[in-house]
Chain A
């Protein structure tokens, strides 16, 4: 059973490495501060389910998709690039194109470090809404917040991007204290643990 309604679910398709962790956590926080639910491939670790089947299922359950295609560098060990993010972006765009019913209502935000850099490695996505975060939390929060507030058609008024980034920093500052009584390691949180903490923090720390 999906953890949230289709219209409230945001598929977060981005790198999961340590270097990207700060932005990943900021994306999850921003999605929840906008009143929606973050979903990603990390939420299920079932060896019995083929990875692509799991991805397809989560993509099917999400109306919104945030795709960060900034990780184009070669893996230092394998000397090969990571293709997972562009592949999952393709699945998401394909679901909108070839799917039926509410799958046609899928909406995507594509993030990269620089706005037009994608033209050099993935020019087929020209025409999509691509925003640059320049590797910073503040710009990533701004891109997601501004996109979601437009996509939600102003139904809810959201705090400004600056305020949301400030709230994210407040959450991060309190994370060790939140984790301590729960016997969690703030540096080694599973995605579902992070999401639960974010959900509850946002609920109990409303901006107004």
Chain B
């Protein structure tokens, strides 16, 4: 690395300048937190479809009805 480049890197570290990798890391952290929250939620409640007359009716997620 040339002398001039080294000086630039040192300066950027000292001033707390953030690069693209830091931005991407922040985006990934927020995205992963959102996905983890979604995964930790309890599954959608289910009810038996047509249970009045059918003993072996399928379980269907309420959201799908």
Interface residues of A (CB under 8 A from B): 174, 177-178, 181-183, 196-197, 200-201, 203-205
CB 8 Å contact bits of B17-43 with A (1 = contact, 0 = none): 010101111111111011000000000
Cβ–Cβ contact B23 & A197, under 8 A = yes
A84 to B29, CA, bound (A): 40
Cβ–Cβ contact A196 & B23, under 8 A = yes
Interface of A is mostly: helix
Cβ–Cβ contact B22 & A178, under 8 A = no
* Chain B: interface size category: 10 to 19
Cβ–Cβ contact B26 & A178, under 8 A = yes
Interface of B is mostly: helix
Pick 25 A–B contacts, CB within 8 A, sort by A: A174-B31, A177-B30, A177-B33, A178-B26, A178-B27, A178-B30, A181-B25, A181-B26, A181-B29, A182-B18, A182-B26, A183-B16, A183-B18, A197-B23, A197-B27, A200-B20, A200-B23, A200-B24, A200-B27, A201-B27, A203-B24, A204-B24, A204-B27, A204-B31, A205-B27
A200 to B31, CA, bound (A): 11
A200 to B25, CA, bound (A): 9
- Given the complex, which residues of A lie within 8 Å of B27, measured CB to CB? 178, 197, 200-201, 203-205
A-B contact count (CB 8 A): 35
Interface residues of B (CB under 8 A from A): 16, 18, 20, 22-31, 33-34
Contact of B22 among A177, A182, A201 (CB under 8 A): A182
Which residue in chain B gives the minimum CB-CB distance to A196? B23
- Given the complex, which residues of B lie within 8 Å of A203, measured CB to CB? 24, 27
Cβ–Cβ contact A196 & B20, under 8 A = yes
- Given the complex, which residues of B lie within 8 Å of A201, measured CB to CB? 27
Which residue in chain B gives the minimum CB-CB distance to A180? B26
- Given the complex, which residues of A lie within 8 Å of B33, measured CB to CB? 177
- Given the complex, which residues of A lie within 8 Å of B30, measured CB to CB? 174, 177-178
A205 to B23, CA, bound (A): 14
Q: Which of B24, B30, B33 has most A Cβ within 10 Å?
A: B30
- Given the complex, which residues of A lie within 8 Å of B24, measured CB to CB? 200, 203-204
* Those 4 A-B pairs whose CB atoms lie nearest each other, nearest first: A200-B27, A177-B30, A204-B27, A181-B26
A178 to B35, CA, bound (A): 15
Which residue in chain A gives the minimum CB-CB distance to B34? A174
